[in-house]
A = this chain, B = another copy of it.
Amino acid sequence: MELSDAFAQVVEKHRKSKGFSRSFLAERAGLHQTYIGLLEKGHRSPNLDTAKCIAKALGVPLAKMIEQSERILKSH
């Protein structure tokens, strides 16, 4: 498992906890909804700037999302 696979889970968790659809999150983050889908399936490893846009759109500090991702990675 790579960090981006763990990050995919963390994005989906925060998105659902906010009640955001993939298309709503995509629009807020300035990304295409197909990209959000691919990312949540672990088919994309976002660069730091894209990851930051997603975190901002979710209203969560990126550092917190990375911390949660690193925790998932460690437990695997």
Question: Is residue A51 contacting chain B, with contact meaning CB distance below 8 A?
Answer: yes
For A69, the chain B residues whose CB sits under 8 A away are: 48
Is chain A's binding surface mostly helix, strand, loop or mixed? helix
Q: With A and B bound together, what is the CA distance between A63 and B63 in angstroms?
A: 5
Counting contact residues on chain A (CB < 8 A from B), the size range is 20 to 34
Contact of A49 among B4, B50, B61, B62 (CB under 8 A): B4
Query: A52 an interface residue at 8 Å Cβ cutoff?
Result: yes
- Nearest-neighbor residue (CB-CB) of A66 within chain B: B63
Q: Determine the distance from Cα of A49 to Cα of B69 in the docked complex, in whole angstroms.
A: 11
A4 to B51, CA, bound (A): 10
Q: Is A2 an interface residue (CB 8 A)?
A: yes
